[in-house]
Structure formats: C-alpha cells, structure tokens
Amino acid sequence: MLKKFISFFLLLLFVAAVQAQQLVLPGDNPDPSVVKIGDTYWASATTSNWGPAFPLFRSKDLVTWKQQGAIFNELPQWADYYFWAPEITYDKGRVYVYYTAHKKNGSLCVGVASADRPEGPYRDHGPLICQEAGSIDAFPMRDEKGTLYLIWKEDGNSIGQPTPIWISEMNEERTALIGEKRELFRNTEPWESNLVEGVSIIHHGDYYYAFYAAAGCCGIECTYMSGVARAKTLLGPWEKYNQNPILTSNEKWKCPGHGTPVEKDGKWYFLYHAYDAKSGPYAGRQGLLQEFSFTSDGWLSFIKQPVSAKDHANYSVSDDFRGSGLSDKWQWNVFQKLNYKLIKGNLELSALPAESGAFVGQKTYTADYIAETTVSVAKSAAEAGVAAVGDENNLVRASIYRDTLRLAVIKGGVPVFIQEQTLKTKDKLTLRMQVKNGKDITFLYGVPGKELKVFNQEPVDGSFLPPWDRAVRAALISKGDPEKTAVFERFVLKDLNQ
C-alpha cells in the first residue's frame, strides 16, 4: 500500500511539473502573434512560401480560433518570398502588421501594412528596414514617454555573425525609421547559441519585459528555447534573467519559442510555436498557449499544469467545392499563379508544365493521416493527382492522365517515376494518399464507392520533403498545358486513426 501511495505521489509530482502548453492553432503556424481589439483576439502566423500570405484568425477566448481570410491575398509588389513573422498590433484605432519578406533582388526586410479593421483590407506601406545581412522579426513598442519605436533582429546568423536586437524610433505614419538605431542586446549566453530573435515586449509594473527565442529554430535537429530580459526603460540597459531559458522542450512539445504575450481577464498568456514530438517537421510548428505570472522579485514564471487533452484531439477537413471560392484552408505556392474555377461541385485547377505541376495544398496536423480525392477523369484534360508537397521542387504524387496511373517522386526538381499502371477507368477515380510517421507514403486507387487497391506496396520515403522553415502539405496537382485543367470532385483530409 505504501509503495502504491509513493508511486501515486510521484506521478502527481510529475504531472504537476508538466508545463501546460495547450494546442490552440494546430498545423503549421510558426511565429504566431496575437492582439486584442475590442472584445476579440486576432492572430496571425508565418506562411513562408505559401500563399495567401499570413492567415488571420479570430477568437473570443484565446483557445478556439476561426480563420477569417488573410492579410495579403495578393503579395506586396516589392517582395517575392519568405513571408515570415507577422506581428499584428493595434494603436490609436488602426491595425498594423509588421512582417518580414525577401525583397526582390535584395535581402530580407521588415515591412508594414495597415487597415481600418482587423479583417482588412490591408494596405501595404513597403519595407522599413533592409540590412545587408537581413532584417527580420519586427515588434513595435512605445517608451515611457509615448514615443513610438521599432525593434527588430539583424539576421547575422545567416552569414556567421552575431544577431543584435536593434531599436529605432519610427514615425507615426509607419513609413520610416527616424534617427540612429541602438542595440538592446545580442546572443551572448551559451544556451542562446548562434542567435537571439523573435522579440516581443510588454510593460508591466516597473519593467519592460522582452520575450525572445534563441538557438536553432527548425527541423528535426532543432534546439529552440525561450528566454526573457527586462529593463526599466525601453532603451535599456537590458538585463537577461539568470534562470533562462524559461521555456524548453518537454516530452510532448519540442523547441518552443517566438511568440507574443497577451492579457485576458487579468491573467497573462504567451502564444508561441513548437513541434509536436511525434509529427515533428512534417506537421510543422504549431501554435501553443501557456499562462505565465510575474514573480515577487520582478521576473516571470510559466505556470505548470497538466497537459490539456485537446493536445491529442483529431482534426479533419472535407471540401465538396460548392462555395463561391476556395476555402481559407487552401494554400498555394508563391511562385505559381493560382488559376481555378469552382463549377457545380467541381474544382477545375489549371495546369502548369513544370515537374511539380500547379498545386493547392492544405496543412497537415498529425504524423498519420489520409488525404483523398475523386478525380473526374472524363473531364480532366490535364494530369490530375494527390500529393505530399514540401515545395515546388520536392513532392511525392500519384496522378492519373487518361488511362495511366503514375507514381512520381520529385526531389530537388528532378523527377523519378517509380511505377505506372494502365487502368480501364474512364469516368471517375478515387485516389488516396496514406501517410504514416509523417513520411511513409502509400497510395491507393479505385472506383468511387468500392474498395480501394494499393498502388505501391513499398511506401515511398518522404523524409526529404519538409523545407527547413515549413511543413508538408497534402495537395491536389494539375500538370500539363496551362490552358488545360484537372477536375476534382471532393477532398478529404483526416487522421489515419479516425
């Protein structure tokens, strides 16, 4: 009996020690930011090379979020890719979004857009700062006198240099920085490794508090952690907490960091990202919420509670293409021009001749999932298929063109055709992509409503798919002449265990 009591007591201690990292933005939502406007919270996240750029989410409770469009349906004219770290803010009745993007023929820059309402439309004001090494991860803040400043990171780690966090006064129109920049702090501590980034700041009591991330953000070998620094004035001097890092990996969530603090009902929360330990980079960095409090010695501490059961929930998506346009869940490649029509419950996706074809994708949520579509073979003049897509140069697809079913792996832009089979189907064909462990990919096919047959007995290894800053999408593919289309009747994405 005593042994049972001791075991139970130790279990309670273990559960109580688990940080309550609650999953609130499932799927690939890196670098989330959040702001309260009226009685509603608004959030956004990195999209990198997926369009539209920067999804908009709204919530009343910080936990249940609904997507409502995006900040940029059309990309800013000055930028071409790497749409990162949108910081959504509200000041004097106007919404501002500070974001990172790669300038055409240039470097990474911090830009800004604004809107009268959080749902937009947003007007882009162009880049504010473009350093040679790159300028990223912007955050606005007013000092104790009300003067407006911009804080950002110089991306020195990209060229083997330190990563100073800079601050500069900004005009009220948000069109220019004013005066000389000053350094707040940089990566100096062993745990920070080669960078500090993702700074967000609040003012509470006697101090400004800067949340920041450090070390390696991304991929299977990530080492990301979060720390905090404080100062009595915004310009410093800044003091790093001697108990840093304050947010680290646990058995469920790996490499936590880059988020925004927000207040709700007198309590403080941090919205940030981390990798699910099982799905890792395949499902990407997902949005988590955790409560924190301020300590008697003027620092802060994350509150430790049991892991929420919601972290293990299943997620599913279905689309019968009967709306007036594609749902907010669909994304496309920023290097491709999306061209489609929705006609009588069919998605007619215009093709591209590139090896990847044209594609539209959806975020995945778990390591084990199914993506399924029904192709109208009779109506499709282009090659039509379902695929796991990392980017335009790395994907695995099964596709049907006329009477030929084909399995192809495109790696580094080079296609390798694994197998093909002649089919008698002339009308409709169901294609299913079954993924296990995030990377083991099997395709099945068959007549709608009947049992499906396995196409490739040996799963394709998709471990090469995730780009360093993104996750895998389940996608529909249309390959061929741009004047031709592939026609899809439905799409389903669900947990393999449902």
- The residue extents of the domains of the chain are 17-312, 316-495
Q: Please answer whether residues 140 and 112 qualify as being in contact, where contact means their C-beta atoms are separated by less than 8 angstroms.
A: no
Neighbour count for residue 381 (Cβ, 10 Å): 17
> How deeply is 119 buried, as exposed, middle or buried, from its count of CB atoms within 10 A (0-12, 13-18, 19+)?
middle
Q: In the prediction, which pLDDT does 7 show?
A: 38
Residue 18, phi-psi category: left (phi > 0), alpha (psi -120 to 50), beta (remainder): beta
CB 192 within 8 A of CB 174: no
Q: Are 391 and 47 in contact (CB under 8 A)?
A: no
3-class secondary structure for the chain?
Answer: CHHHHHHHHHHHHHHHCCECCEEEECCCCCCCEEEEECCEEEEECCCECEECEEEEEEECCCCCCEEEEEEECCCCCCEEEEEEEEEEEEECCEEEEEEEEEECCCCEEEEEEEECCCCCCCEEEEEEECCCCCEEEEEEEECCCCCEEEEEEECHHHHCCCCCEEEEEECCCCCCEEEEEEEEECCCCHHHCCCEEEEEEEEECCEEEEEEEECCCCCCCCCCEEEEEEECCCCCCCEECCCCCCECCCCCEEEEEEEEEEEECCEEEEEEEEEECCCHHHHCEEEEEEEEEECCCCCEEECECCCCHHHHCCCEEEECCCCCCCCCCCEEECCCCCCEEEECCEEEEECECCCCCEEEEEECCCCCEEEEEEEECCCCCCEEEEEEEEECCEEEEEEEECCEEEEEEEECCEEEEEEEEECCCCCEEEEEEEEECCCEEEEEEECCCCCCEECCCCCEECCCCCCCCCCCEEEEEEECCCCCEEEEEEEEEEECCC
Q: Which residues are catalytic?
A: 31, 197
Contact 119, 56 (CB under 8 A): yes
pTM: 0.95
Integer-rounded Cα radius of gyration of the chain? 24
pLDDT at residue 308, as a whole number: 53
Residue 426 one-letter amino acid = K
- Give pLDDT, residue 64: 96
**Number of neighbouring beta carbons within 10 Å of residue 295:** 10
143-169 burial: b if 16+ Cβ within 10 Å, else e:
eeeeeebbbbbbbbbeeeeebbbbbbb
For tokens 């021009």, name the residue.
Answer: 337
pLDDT (tens place) for every residue of the chain, 498 residues total: 433 333 333 333 333 344 578 999 999 999 999 999 999 999 999 999 999 999 999 999 999 999 999 999 999 999 999 999 999 999 999 999 999 999 999 999 999 999 999 999 999 999 999 999 999 999 999 999 999 999 999 999 999 999 999 999 999 999 999 989 999 999 999 999 999 999 999 999 999 999 999 999 999 999 999 999 999 999 999 999 999 999 999 999 999 999 999 999 999 999 999 999 999 999 999 999 999 999 999 999 999 866 554 554 568 999 999 999 999 999 999 999 999 999 999 999 999 999 999 999 999 999 999 999 999 999 999 999 999 999 999 999 999 999 999 999 999 999 999 999 999 887 999 999 999 999 999 999 999 999 999 999 999 999 999 999 999 999 999 999 999 999 999 999 999 987
Question: According to the model, what pLDDT value does residue 179 have?
Answer: 87
Supply the pLDDT for residue 426.
79
The CATH code belonging to domain 17-312 is: 2.115.10.20
In whole angstroms, give the CA distance from residue 112 to residue 154: 17
> Are both 17-312 and 316-495 of the same fold?
no
Structure tokens at 227: 């720390």
Would you state the pLDDT for residue 14?
36
CATH topology of domain 316-495: Jelly Rolls (2.60.120)
The residues near 450 (Cβ < 8 Å, ≥ 6 apart) are none
The reported pLDDT for the residue numbered 229 is 98
The two tokens of residue 386 are 């379902």
* Closest listed residue to residue 46, CA positions, set 70, 20, 80: 70
Give me the residues paired with residue 96 across strands. 89, 114
Query: Cis bond leading into 245, ω under 30°?
Result: yes
Q: Rounded to an integer, what distance in angstroms lies between the CA atom of residue 345 and that of residue 448?
A: 16
Backbone angles phi, psi at 260, to 5 degrees: -135, 130
- Contact between residue 476 and residue 386 where contact means Cβ atoms under 8 Å apart: yes
What pairs with residue 460 in β-bridges?
441
